[in-house]
Amino acid sequence: MLRNISLKLPKTSVDIKVFSANLTHSSAEYINEDRYKLLSKEHITEAVKLSPALSMVSSEMWRTAHQTFLNHGLSTQNFLQIATGNPKVLMRSPMKVIEALEFWRTCQFGEYCLFLLITKYPELLDVNDQQKLLKHISFLKSYVNTDKNVWKLLMTCPSLMQDSVKNIEARMSYFKNVMCLEIPEIIKSKALTKPLEEIKCRHIFLERLRLFRPRPKKVDPNQHTDNPRLYKITDTSDKTFATKICHVTAEEYESFKILFRREIERKEEETENKELLSDDDDN
């Protein structure tokens, strides 16, 4: 049986009920009664329901992990969200948890923004190489210009931390040089996590329907355009993209995808043949 873990916590204005829609009404009332919050058996029970892997965590591990996060400024609500999102964190030593937090602090997002990020995406606490982390953050910053924009990008696209520089560069180049988009529009979408072929397919489909025209490079970026916003192009299902953005049937877009794939394969084959001919000429 799990025991209540009574820890004196700092005051917080955040309602712990936000932690989970599954948090029971009675336990939520119990939490809100006391100005100094307790990590109770009810919290742990609800957390285990959300993430069964937490059933393997001992009471001592819960207590130690909870205290570690509190000592570094996170609330009980933050802790519970992190625990359910990444149970492995509770099984690490306090030193490893603190190390991961300090690695992320060096990214200069600020405490408030950092806590929002790791609470929303607890898997980011799996970082174990500070040099690699800072190098990747610096790479992203070279495109989006500021620490705040890197944070905004990761709040939308956390998987970029595992993506390769080559893939990100290819997508970013397409957005900036082909679609002529500005950074603020790019970081408001999930487009950088999408396969480049899918991005090209949707963009070219819109162009052929005359629903997308690249903005001239010397035009004020704030000037109105009738082009669909990037998030509407990339962050939608095929059906929604076809019917709501392109105003065609889903079947028409599916047919175009097949033709587009064949077109790409034909171009790739032509390129390979040219390279073979070039090699023959050299020999």
pLDDT at 17 over 50: no
User: Residue 269, class by beta-carbon neighbours within 10 Å (0-12 exposed, 13-18 middle, 19+ buried)?
Assistant: exposed
Q: What percent of the chain has pLDDT over 70?
A: 84
70-115 pLDDT, tens per residue? 999 999 999 999 999 999 999 999 999 999 999 999 999 999 999 9
Tokens 């916590």 correspond to 9
* Chain mean position to CA 175: 19
Q: How much is the pTM?
A: 0.79
What pLDDT was estimated at residue 214?
Answer: 86
Q: 281 falls in which pLDDT band (50, 70, 90)?
A: low
Residue pair 84/54 in contact (Cβ under 8 Å)? The answer is: yes
Polymer length in residues for the chain: 283
Q: 3 falls in which pLDDT band (50, 70, 90)?
A: very low
Rounded Cα distance, 238 and 186, in Å: 20
Per-domain residue ranges for the chain? 44-128
Phi/psi region, residue 5 (left: phi>0; alpha: psi -120 to 50; beta: rest), is: beta
